[in-house]
Amino acid sequence: MTELDALADELDRRLATADAVLAARYPGDRGVRQPVHTVYVPADQYDAGTVAAWAAEAKAALASYGGSADELAAAVELPAAEGVYDRAVAKLDDEPIEDLRIDFEDGYGTRSDDEEDAAAIGAARALAETVKAGTAPPYHGLRIKSLEAPSRRRGVRTLDLFVGELASAGALTDGFVITLAKVTSVEQIEAMVVVLDAVERARATPRLTFEIQVETPQAILGPDGTALIARMIGAGAGRVTGLHYGTYDYSASLGVAAAYQSMEHPVADHAKNVMQLAAAGTGVFVSDGSTNVLPVGDRDAVHAAWRLHARLVRRSLERGIYQGWDMHPAQLPSRFLATYSFYREGLEAAGARLRAYAGEGESGYLDEPATAAALAGFVLRAVECGAADQAEVDKLTGLDSTVLATLAKRKPRS
């Protein structure tokens, strides 16, 4: 053994604990597609026909106020990128909602126990019906009330009833997600892990996961000055799959006046920057929030709301946040138009840069492995949401999906 070999062995011993912590806390991509949005529907308004009804209302809004591709692009102030309009229309037919959350929190409110029990059972049965029929969105689940003292028992009871109904119907899928609202402490995340352990045992379910809704200042900055959201991910014992920004609760908690509460307010950007830092490398998705300016009313009002929504969606995408909330069926057209425009505008350049990185031609960029990973991730996300086809991406990049996934440092997609 050489002196350098002995030194390397010593370094391995010294850094073994740090290496193990790094591998455990930052496992990277977890091998699942990230939806472009989450749609929230109050529990008492959800039934087995909800997704079809949202699609129909979205298409009706597009037909009434969309006009042609060029007219809509001008009205919404998006570039008239080739294929965007047709792809958005097709999306409303094929997969209008990528992620559905049946809401038992603010969207549902406080009801009697009997009423919420009935709503939990009824909504779960309706969701199970769509899962069995193959019409459920690929991701779906519920948002429960927080583990704060006043709502703790109610949130746990609703979760248990809902999961129990799905389990008994054989309708718990890999796409099932739970959202925990108004988290204020690391201890609540530890408690949620205990709750899920208990529900799994009682209901004989597969492993359950959950998202943390970041809508309180305590989730961003703890009393000791640390960013508690990073500790919350660790406290989730591998069960945390997402961080979702709550636009209005968070802004209101910081004293922002209602007229100025927005996804683009500086306090929102700060919170989301911290969320992105905490989630980086962990495999935990980050989602932006929503706009409460709805596309309803006359043509001018709808166009104004679409312009705002499309701009906010684009803003999130440019900042590396690939998911957001939609609260009204008529927001689906602007969601998909803005998302598809973002990807299609950048597709050709990304393809050329990936070709050059692989050694074919020149792109005018000197891309390093980290940038190549971002480029590959960009085109793969475009395919996953419907903005591009795999054959189109293969032709543009000269690389197949397996090579692109390797470049992007992705696990095989499930």
| Domain range enclosing 113 | 37-337
> What distances in angstroms separate CA 108 from CA 12, 115, 117, 387, one per listed residue?
54, 11, 13, 33
Q: Does residue 372 belong to any structural domain of this protein?
A: no
What residues does 42 pair with on adjacent strands? 103
CB atoms within 10 A of CB 278: 24
Terminal-residue alpha carbon distance, the chain: 45
Percent of the chain with pLDDT over 90: 90
- HSE on the CB side for 281, CA within 13 Å? 11
Query: Is 361 within a domain?
Result: no
Residue 309 pLDDT level (bands cut at 50, 70, 90)? very high
Q: Domain for residue 247, yes or no?
A: yes
Does residue 391 lie within any of the structural domains? no
CA distance linking residue 75 with residue 300, whole number of Å: 9
Question: Within a 10 A sphere around the Cβ of 121, how many other Cβ atoms?
Answer: 15
Q: Between 83 and 243, whose confidence is greater?
A: 243
Give me the CATH number covering residue 144. 3.20.20.60
Amino acid at 125: R
What amino acid is encoded at 267 in this protein?
V
> Under DSSP, is residue 255 helix (H, G, I), strand (E, B) or coil?
coil
- Residue 336: the pLDDT is 96
Assigned domain for 414 exists: no
Q: What pLDDT is attached to residue 342? A: 95
Q: pLDDT at residue 175 above 60?
A: yes
In the chain, how many domains are there? 1
Longest dimension (CA), the chain: 80
Q: Are 293 and 308 in contact (CB under 8 A)?
A: yes
The tokens of 100 are what? Answer: 């559905």
Sheet arrangement for strand 99-103: 285-287, 240-245, 210-214, 176-180, 139-144, 99-103, 37-42, 324-326
In a domain, 229, yes or no: yes
Which pTM value belongs to this model? Answer: 0.94
Structure tokens at 221: 């900055």
414 pLDDT above the threshold of 60? no
Question: Phi, psi (5° rounding) for residue 5?
Answer: -60, -45
Q: Please give the Cα distance from 402 to 391 (Å, whole number).
A: 13
Look at residue 413 in the predicted model and tell me its pLDDT: 63
Give the SS3 label for residue 243: strand
- Read off the pLDDT of residues 225-267 as tens digits, 9 standing for 90 and up: 999 999 999 999 999 999 999 999 999 999 999 999 999 999 9
Q: What is the mean pLDDT of the chain?
A: 94
| Neighbour-count burial of 271, counting CB atoms closer than 10 A to its CB (0-12 exposed, 13-18 middle, 19+ buried) | buried
For 373-392, write each residue's pLDDT tens digit. 999 999 999 999 999 999 99
Domain contains 380: no
Residues 279-298: pLDDT tens digits?
999 999 999 999 999 999 99
* Nearest alpha-carbon partner for 200 in 160, 157, 140: 160
Q: How many CB atoms lie within 10 A of CB 56?
A: 14
- pLDDT of residue 394 exceeding 90, the answer is yes
Answer whether residue 80 shows pLDDT above 80: no
Structure tokens at 339: 């998302």
- The answer to whether residue 343 sits within a structural domain is no
- DSSP at 44: G
